[in-house]
Amino acid sequence: MTNTMWGGRFAASPADIMEEINASIDFDKRLWRHDIAASKAHVAMLAATGIIDSKEADEIVNGLDRILAEMKAGKFAFSRKLEDIHLNVEHRLTELIGPVAGKLHTARSRNDQVATDFKLYVRDEIATIKAALTALQLALAKKALDHAGTVMPGFTHLQTAQPITFGHHLLAYVEMFGRDQGRFANAAERLNESPLGAAALAGTSFPIDRGMTAEALGFARPAANSLDAVSDRDFALETLAAAAIAAMHLSRLAEEIVLWTSPQFGFARLSDAYATGSSIMPQKRNPDAAELVRAKIGRIAGAFQSLLMVMKGLPLAYAKDMQEDKEPLFDALDTLKLGIAAMTGMVDDLEPDVRAMKKAASSGYATATDLADWLTLKLGLPFREAHKVTGQIVALAESKGCDLKKLSLADFQSVDKRIGKAVYPVLGIANAVKSRKSQGGTAPANVRREAKRWIKRLEKQGPRDKKEG
């Protein structure tokens, strides 16, 4: 049997392998809600413009609603013979309402239909991801407020650098995920043009009203060029690029959780809810969820690369290559949502070991910069000289196997006579973080203020996300 939807000029049916490579229904069935919504908008427009009569339009809309109900109930029988979601719906519509179903496809093509469905899908996904990011940011900001004054070592090159607060560290991620939000919002804004009515590639001779379908589907306007409308997938690529960057941020935080919860660092602990045991080594508590979040970027960045390669060099307009846009995007966005949710759970769950962090911050000469700054500020040494003097003091402490604070005044004065006992408070880590009051600095007062500002903003954003989603 030839394809009943497009088989007019075909005498024989496709080879099995042809059907297997050609069919997309196994994955594009996820577009069912969007496909029905786009068809309903299209049919309402066909009636409003007099292209079909309104009684026919009503029959079609009723039929589409019945299909929607079947799909919602999980009772719709998807068929691979019918290739994709569009033809599955149209075929069922014919079964339900007879030949009048054939009028639905007036002045449209699967090319503008699939571009429309896919955009609607991506737009919904972006809203969901944004809401999930808001929840993650809120979890981070709340923990940051709780730990605005919790001192930990800050690292560069993963070597103890200067003391910072744990809250400050967490707020760094709130900023990163905030920029991710911005990238998703930009992508959503740019994709908001309706391809519907571009038809196969050239537009149509029917007197359609593209503004009407665009509005019904919540697009800002119709896409201006019919060739562009059916042939570009940059909206999916932009979304995947934003997803890859967000996944990169997640992977960095995940890696820090892996480090912090290792016995060697011992900075934080995940409860049993987020740790797993080893089947052979009874002492272990593995941070599997963090490791998986760290790894998920592979699939997500891979999806971006995969679609970019599919699109590279494609001549205008639609080509079947573009059917390969869906699986990587579906997988990448599912994976990202899972990663964000798991990370939100871990952030809530994560308990820092305040004493261990403080102890680590007190070792490794983390206040050496404070000493150099003090020599500059209070004793008037040029910073380069202060740096050198401090270096000598660190070397002395190292040779004695002690912290800077444990050196005697005579020790200090053996390096530079001008140093008095006022040096000691400078070497404390509490003083070190408190003094970093510069804008964006780690001082607990700054962190408290920033965490509160974020919490206020995110608590307002949360309900808005829900409305958009």
**Three-state helix/strand/coil letters over 294-339:** HHHHHHHHHHHHHHHHHHCCCCCCCCHHHHHHHHHHHHHHHHHHHH
Bridge-based pairing state of the strands 351-352 and 268-269? antiparallel
Comparing CB distances to ligand ARG, the nearer of 83 and 373 is 83
Q: Which stretch binds ligand ARG (CB under 6 A): 133-141, 143-151, 190-198, 315-323?
A: 315-323
Told to check if 322 binds ligand ARG by CB under 6 A, we report yes
- Hey, which residues does 156 pair with through a beta bridge? 159
Using the rule CB under 6 A, which residue among 42, 108, 110, 142 binds ligand ARG? 110
Residue list 9-48, contact with ligand ARG (CB under 6 A): 24, 28
| CA dihedral sign, ordered 394, 396, 401, 405 | negative
Q: Residue 90 and residue 64: Cα distance in Å, rounded?
A: 9
- Nearest to 114, CA basis, from 154, 84, 73, 145: 84
Q: Which stretch binds ligand ARG (CB under 6 A): 108-116, 183-191, 351-359, 400-408?
A: 108-116
Comparing CB distances to ligand ARG, the nearer of 82 and 350 is 82
Question: How many residues bind to ligand ARG according to rule CB under 6 A?
Answer: 10
Give the list of residues 6+ apart from residue 202 with CB closer than 8 angstroms, or none. Answer: 226, 227
Q: Residue 63 and residue 27: Cα distance in Å, rounded?
A: 23
157 in active site = yes
Whether residue 41 contacts residue 217, with contact meaning beta carbons closer than 8 Å, is answered with yes
Q: Residue 129 and residue 137: Cα distance in Å, rounded?
A: 12
CB of 327 to ligand ARG, least distance (A): 10
The number of helix segments (H) and strand segments (E) in the chain equals: 19, 6
CB of 13 to ligand ARG, least distance (A): 17
226 in active site = no
Give the list of residues 6+ apart from residue 145 with CB closer than 8 angstroms, or none. Answer: 167, 448, 451, 452, 455
Using the rule CB under 6 A, which residue among 111, 165, 231, 362 binds ligand ARG? 111
Burial group, residue 329, by CB count within 10 angstroms (0-12, 13-18, 19+): buried
Comparing CB distances to ligand ARG, the nearer of 18 and 409 is 18
Told to check if 231 binds ligand ARG by CB under 6 A, we report no
Q: Which stretch binds ligand ARG (CB under 6 A): 34-42, 272-280, 314-322, 344-352?
A: 314-322
Using the rule CB under 6 A, which residue among 162, 323, 442, 446 binds ligand ARG? 323
Comparing CB distances to ligand ARG, the nearer of 43 and 317 is 317
Q: Which stretch binds ligand ARG (CB under 6 A): 263-271, 319-327, 336-344, 420-428?
A: 319-327
- Catalytic entry in 13, 79, 271, 278: 278
Comparing CB distances to ligand ARG, the nearer of 83 and 450 is 83
Tracing tokens 């309900």 back to the chain, one arrives at: 463
- Catalytic entry in 157, 205, 279, 408: 157
Residues 57-96, one symbol each (x = binds ligand ARG by CB under 6 A, - = not), give ---------------------------x------------
First to last CA, the chain: 43
| CA dihedral sign, ordered 438, 182, 253, 174 | positive
CB of 324 to ligand ARG, least distance (A): 8
User: Which residues are catalytically annotated?
Assistant: 157, 278
Q: Which residues bind ligand ARG (CB under 6 A)?
A: 24, 28, 84, 110-111, 114, 318, 320, 322-323
